[in-house]
Chain A
Amino acid sequence: MSTEPFTDEILSAVIDGEAGADIVAAVAADTVASARLAQIRQAVAHVCAPVPDAAPQRRSASIAAAMAAREPTGPEVISLAAARHNTTSKTTVKSGIDLQRFALLAAAIALVVALPFALLSRSGNDSDTAASDVGTQDSGSASFDAPAERQMTPTAAADSDDAVDDSHDDVETNIETTSAPAAANESMNDAADAATTTAPASDHSFEADAALGEITRVNSIEVLADLIRIQAIAPTLTSKQAIETVLEAGFSPACVESLGVIDTTSLALAILDEDGSNPRLLILSFADDESVTTLDAEDCAQLR
């Protein structure tokens, strides 16, 4: 029997098969060392013990989340944490002192100013409405690539969509449409420049499209989702949270007349009543502190 004190490191080497034959034999001949070796082997066996399976739903969710990371659905979007409409829109309007925010707000105002003229221009040209609604912007613009079959005329949308909630009254950003068309276009051009400055990732800004007189009627939540999720429109916005905010503010997606990027974390939605009146802005402004998944068609359906 060996009197050598076998350390745990030596015994661990025995377990791993890294100890020499003489050491193994010496340990085997030493009662105390053998007992300790058995004790450590037992500990190792505990480590190797199987863990309880994950719940099937959790397992599937994990795999689905990983698969989503591979889906070619555009950029990784950033969470737009917590800043909800009733807070953020008020803050945006009331504290919009800095020049950048002022320019961005001007872009959004220009958007609303253009709405009546765009709608008027459509009224005499109904047969072309669907095509023009889908977006006839420059070839590089991806802002309004929603499928043509999803687009409806304002009249059809008003007939089919949900009623507007009374909470519209809470919207802080009501804008009167009193500017002349020329002024509106000039303002839009300025706004487009501002947007280019503040949101370099968004080459296809809403303002540029608005300046062309193209207004997209958003008459279904799927179309709204499509528009928001397009990389060129909102590189860091999440369509899900944006839409949730719209809904939480009491708006039907049918009331979202058009939308555009203010900056990489802010989105402007032009809101109308169902009859096309009372244009106003909904400004969604968010923080970017966590990642979330993008909205897919199934998510859109669940939001109905």
Chain B
Amino acid sequence: MLTLADDDDLIRNAQGGDLSSLEILLDRHHDRIRAVCAKVVGRGADADDAAQMALISIVKNLDSFDGRAQFSTWSYRIATNAAIDELRRRSRRNATSLDDDEGHLQIAALGNLENAATAHIDVEHALEQLGEDFRVPVVLRDLCGMDYSEISEVLNLAPGTVRSRIARGRGKLADIIGPVTNGGNQVDTRGVQGTDDEH
């Protein structure tokens, strides 16, 4: 049955002009692609727009997909680019400012970690506190499961830079979300060398 076909078969058929295979492929990967867009872009409507642009880009470029990478990885790249494009458009609309003066982190929410620890932290909001430079690699790594070299290729960054940004992004996100709260025990993490001193 076509709906049970693996991605390779669907891609091959779609490249050959089979629209039903293409539709199944898009339907199968839509939620994953949208999830990436949602984590990178943040807002629901913008995420949907980015996801749609990603799907369109996938369709338009499907013939160039040669199977050397996993389709999921390839589509993540496209989704990431679509999401970044959406961020650019949003930025041009002056709807939000993603980066601080150094183009790195917005840490407005870091003012009171103790309050943050007891408050409900919306993960989307937390992610939005990260600058794009950090948010995108973290999402690609932790949501998409891409390895450093793949992320390096997608973002056109040196692997060492990717590694550093992921670590720093995770650290900042941990600071925003606050100490581990399970069981009501807050843990003092002072003494661990974090990332604040890097700014």
Residues of A within 8 A of B (CB): 5-9, 11-13, 15-16, 32-33, 35-36, 38-40, 42-44, 46-54, 58-59, 61-63, 65-67, 69-71
Contact status of A66 and B52, CB under 8 A, knowing A5-B191, A33-B192: yes
Asked if B180 is at the interface of the complex by the 8 Å CB criterion, the answer is yes
Contact status of A51 and B170, CB under 8 A, knowing A8-B194, A36-B192, A46-B126: no
Q: Which residues of B contact A35 (CB under 8 A)?
A: 179-180, 187-189, 192
- The answer on a CB contact under 8 Å between A9 and B52 is no
- The answer on a CB contact under 8 Å between A51 and B187 is no
Q: Which residues of A contact B55 (CB under 8 A)?
A: 62-63, 65-66
Residues of B within 8 A of A (CB): 19, 22-23, 26-27, 30-31, 34-35, 38-39, 44, 47-48, 51-52, 55-56, 58-60, 62, 121, 123-124, 126-127, 138-139, 141-143, 163-164, 166-168, 170-171, 173-174, 176-180, 187-195
Q: Nearest residue in A to B186 (C-beta to C-beta)?
A: A35
Q: Nearest residue in B to A49 (C-beta to C-beta)?
A: B123
Q: Which residues of B contact A58 (CB under 8 A)?
A: 48
Q: Which residues of B contact A40 (CB under 8 A)?
A: 170-171, 174
The 23 sampled A-B contact pairs (Cβ below 8 Å) are A5-B191, A5-B192, A8-B192, A8-B193, A8-B195, A12-B163, A12-B167, A16-B141, A33-B192, A35-B187, A38-B180, A39-B178, A40-B174, A43-B176, A47-B123, A54-B31, A63-B26, A63-B30, A63-B55, A66-B52, A66-B59, A67-B26, A70-B19
- The answer on a CB contact under 8 Å between B127 and A47 is yes
Q: Which residues of B contact A47 (CB under 8 A)?
A: 39, 123, 127, 138-139, 142-143, 173
Chain B interface, >50% SS class: helix
Q: Which residues of B contact A36 (CB under 8 A)?
A: 174, 189, 192, 194
Contact status of A42 and B174, CB under 8 A, knowing A9-B164, A63-B26: yes
Q: Top 3 nearest A-B pairs by Cβ distance?
A: A8-B171, A66-B55, A12-B167
Contact status of A6 and B123, CB under 8 A, knowing A48-B143, A62-B52, A70-B22: no
Inter-chain CA distance A224–B128, complex, in Å, is 48
Inter-chain CA distance A36–B178, complex, in Å, is 10
How far, in Å, is B196 (CB) from chain A's closest CB? 10
- The answer on a CB contact under 8 Å between B177 and A42 is yes
- The answer on a CB contact under 8 Å between B38 and A46 is no
How far, in Å, is A19 (CB) from chain B's closest CB? 11
How far, in Å, is B39 (CB) from chain A's closest CB? 7
Q: Which residues of B contact A12 (CB under 8 A)?
A: 163, 166-167, 170-171
Inter-chain CA distance A62–B27, complex, in Å, is 10
